């Protein structure tokens, strides 16, 4: 059980951090048409001379989930700021909940900003692990119930976390520390999700690097999409596998479905309108996808068709199993979940090269490997 925390400490920290957090109203009018965001549906960003306004849309109820006003820390706060949570940039002392975002921070060259984490077992980057072990990076406990005393001690100037519906965030929401609601995972357009790098670049003082990174992703993605569009075949595809009786199939408008289509595949649930997943049983999937040409699976410790059959005996009934057209991504070894959100071009190339090897004769897969 956590020790009782001293409310005086919380008040003191609030005063120390007041320059990083502020809400207010002004007569400033924001024009959504001026947003530098082009693909992300949940994000808009207007850059003014003295500050940047970032608006995160509420994916569940509509309207605004959170609005941030980013102000360089080396200048005085401008008068008449737009309404929103003021964050001084670049962020220098961050508590980060997800390795997805620490991975991006490393790519932008500012991993040293990470001064605290929760759920430390999910961070496998060697630099972070060493920092956690030495105490240079604070272990703030469990993401569902962070250790308040440790958060107070590390005095973060921002907390980066992934929001969920009707989230309250408990005690940390009362500490006057800017909470950055990282809703990028709720974007279902691949380039839309990747475009959140612009927001994180603004937060970290890496605008030029972030904009350049995103443009490189867009160029590579669209080039490969155009190349795959020239394929003469469009093989049918099924993904994932039954786990504990449930087969979570990506919806027809989901992130995965869109990438498969852009890679020149025919996704068998393409007519479905869901942007998330469909929870089906094995027989429901078998009825639709038994004769699928390719089967892509994200899981661990599936290194052969024997392993796949051992996981669920009826997997052997799939045509892709019989034809040895099964490809597995070991999510532990490939760091799939850290890498792909901001690099959809990597996943697109994987699928396109597997389904259309004639178009990518020199490509060697990094994520998915063939099993037999």
Low-confidence ranges of the chain (pLDDT < 50): 1-29
Question: Which DSSP letter does residue 73 get?
Answer: T
Distance (Å, whole) CA 56 – CA 67? 6
Q: Classify domain 229-371 at the CATH topology level.
A: Rossmann fold (3.40.50)
pLDDT of the residue at 167: 87
Of 185, 367, 337, nearest in space to 263 by CA: 367
CB contact set of 299 (below 8 Å; sequence gap of 6+): 241, 243, 328, 329, 330, 331
Contacts of 176 (CB under 8 A, 6+ apart): 13, 14, 17, 18, 21
| CA–CA distances in Å: residue 287 to residues 19, 244, 261, 317 | 59, 19, 21, 11
pLDDT of amino acid 33: 57
Average pLDDT score, the chain: 91
Neighbour count for residue 218 (Cβ, 10 Å): 17
Number of H helices, E strands in the chain: 14, 19
- At 47-57, the pLDDT tens digits run 999 999 999 99
Architecture of domain 7-216: 3-Layer(aba) Sandwich (3.40)
Q: Helix (H, G, I), strand (E, B), or coil: what is residue 299?
A: strand
Q: Would you list the domain boundaries of the chain?
A: 7-216, 229-371
Q: What is the pLDDT of residues 137-167, one digit of tens each?
A: 999 999 999 999 999 999 999 999 999 999 8
Question: Which H or E run contains 101?
Answer: helix 99-107
Q: Would the CATH topology of 7-216 be identical to that of 229-371? A: yes
């Amino acid at each position: 059980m956590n020790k009782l925390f001293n409310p005086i400490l919380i008040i003191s920290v609030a005063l120390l951090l007041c320059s990083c957090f502020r809400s207010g109203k002004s007569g400033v009018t924001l024009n959504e048409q001026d947003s530098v965001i082009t693909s992300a549906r949940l994000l808009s960003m207007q850059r003014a001379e003295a500050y940047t306004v970032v608006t995160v849309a509420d994916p569940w109820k509509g309207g605004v989930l959170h609005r941030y006003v980013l102000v360089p820390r080396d200048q005085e706060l401008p008068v008449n700021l737009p309404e929103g949570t003021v964050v001084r940039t670049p962020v220098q002392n961050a508590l980060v909940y997800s390795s997805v975002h620490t991975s991006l921070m490393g790519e932008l060259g500012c991993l040293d900003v990470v001064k605290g984490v929760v759920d430390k077992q999910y961070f496998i980057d060697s630099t972070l692990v060493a920092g956690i072990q030495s105490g240079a990076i604070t272990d703030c406990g469990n993401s569902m119930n962070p250790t308040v005393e440790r958060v107070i001690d590390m005095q973060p100037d921002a907390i980066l976390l992934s929001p969920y519906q009707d989230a309250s965030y408990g005690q940390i929401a009362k500490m006057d520390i800017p909470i950055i609601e990282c809703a990028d995972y709720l974007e279902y357009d691949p380039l839309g999700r990747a475009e959140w790098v612009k927001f994180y670049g603004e937060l970290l003082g890496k605008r030029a690097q972030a904009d350049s990174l995103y443009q490189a992703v867009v160029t590579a993605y669209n080039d490969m999409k155009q190349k795959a569009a020239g394929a003469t075949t469009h093989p049918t595809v099924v993904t994932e596998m039954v786990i504990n009786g449930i087969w979570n199939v990506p919806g027809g408008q989901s992130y995965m479905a869109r990438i498969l289509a852009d890679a020149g595949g025919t996704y068998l649930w393409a007519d479905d309108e869901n942007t998330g997943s469909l929870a089906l049983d094995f027989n429901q999937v078998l009825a639709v996808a038994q004769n699928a040409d390719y089967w892509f699976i994200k899981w661990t410790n599936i290194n052969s068709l024997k392993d796949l059959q051992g996981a669920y005996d009826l997997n052997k009934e799939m045509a892709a199993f019989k034809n040895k057209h099964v490809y597995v991504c070991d999510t532990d070894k490939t760091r799939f979940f850290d890498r792909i959100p901001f690099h959809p071009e990597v996943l697109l190339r994987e699928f396109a090269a597997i389904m259309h090897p004639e178009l990518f004769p020199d490509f060697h897969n990094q994520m998915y490997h063939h099993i037999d």
